[in-house]
Amino acid sequence: MGRTVNVEVIGVNPPCARCDATWKNTEKAVAVVKTEGIDATVKKLDIISKDVIQKYGALVSPALALNGAVKIMGRVPDPNEIARLLRETAS
């Protein structure tokens, strides 16, 4: 099939509790959609690095981007919601 989604979790470094929670929920969601044939690669990005700001502008942490589009900002999504977004993006 080869349906791939590029996932970026954007948070602060050193990580704050809410960024950590977002990261863990993302990993859970990725594990769930893997069984459905969606292949997601997850990367952690530092919100204050120039590359991130160049690409996305100013953000509120934690943020989640799928295939280069910021879907969630300033809140912690639960694994179900992330899985739903992954499916939408993959199809």
Query: Would you tell me which residues interact with other proteins (CB under 8 A)?
Result: 12, 16-19, 47-48, 50, 53-61, 65, 68-76, 81, 85
Q: Please, what is the minimum distance in Å from the beta carbon of residue 12 to other proteins? A: 5
For other proteins, the closer CB: 31 or 53: 53
Cβ at position 39, least distance to other proteins in Å: 21
Return d(Cα 63, Cα 8) in angstroms, integer: 8
3-class secondary-structure state, position 27:
helix
Pure H helices in the chain:
17-34, 50-56, 79-90
